[in-house]
Amino acid sequence: MFFLPEKLDHYVVEHSEQEPQLLQELTRETYQKILQPIMLSGPYQGRVLSMISKLVRPKIILELGTFTGYATLCLAEGLQIDGEIHTIDINEELHDFQRKYFDKSGFGEQIIQHTGNALDIIPSLDMSFDLVFIDADKPNYSNYFHLIINKLNPGGIILSDNVLWHGKVVEPLNDKDKSTKAVLDYNTLLKSDERVETVLLPIRDGLTISRKK
Ligand SMILES: C[S@@+](CC[C@H](N)C(=O)[O-])C[C@H]1O[C@@H](n2cnc3c(N)ncnc32)[C@H](O)[C@@H]1O
């Protein structure tokens, strides 16, 4: 979905960094072998994630929803030399695919994969984070926020993906549509929670930046 007129959207992409070769390969193989390849962050959002991570220079990153590892590798580009990224996905079948690309990237030793439900795994991570990327199941976005906020360092950043939910956030709400309701509630939570300051960016499907005060 284009929120900008298509021509302008192409202009924006053409005048931004190109995605690295390895991510092009990862994308090709994801489209060949994995269901729902549309879930990939993609080249433009990937460069945005990489840029934000390079600006933050995080020591520890947490990602919820690894999928085939596209965003993991973008975020890893900004890690401190001794930093690490913990990435969680519930789908164990993706593990070996992810690992193949992590090891090819040069960030392999800095990427720690966790397989299981993020709701169970986050409380077991005994560490605090500088940067968190929330990109797993929408109905749990608010639960993830509550699990993470006390583990986020002051000045730490939460990036939340798909917060415009294909534009459904401004359409009449269907009672059965749990995901849209969850995204609406989540956006209200980020705006009203006094522990963070929040800006929603109309990038791709909507990307919110929240900074812990
Ligand atoms: C949109 S994809 C992530 C895309 C990835 N971050 C990227 O940019 O390429 C969402 C992922 O969240 C995972 N997921 C869904 N529910 C989850 C849960 N409760 N805990 C952990 N992962 C979950 C799915 O298996 C899927 O791979």
In tens, the pLDDT along 79-113 reads 999 999 999 999 999 999 999 999 999 999 999 99
> Which of 39, 140, 161, 165 for mutating ligand 1's site (highest number of atoms within 8 Å of CB)?
39
Short-list 101, 124, 107, 86, CA closest to 40: 101
Short-list 1, 116, 131, CA closest to 65: 116
Model confidence band, residue 1 (pLDDT cutoffs 50, 70, 90): low
* Side-chain-facing half-sphere of 76: CA atoms under 13 Å: 24
- Does residue 34 line the site of ligand 1, with CB under 6 A? no
Give the tokens for residue 114.
């966790």
- Does residue 196 line the site of ligand 1, with CB under 6 A? no
Short-list 82, 87, 60, CA closest to 72: 87
- Does residue 85 line the site of ligand 1, with CB under 6 A? no
In tens, the pLDDT along 10-43 reads 999 999 999 999 999 999 999 999 999 999 999 9
Q: What is the mean pLDDT of residues 141-162?
A: 98
- Does residue 62 line the site of ligand 1, with CB under 6 A? no
Q: What is the mean pLDDT of residues 172-191?
A: 96
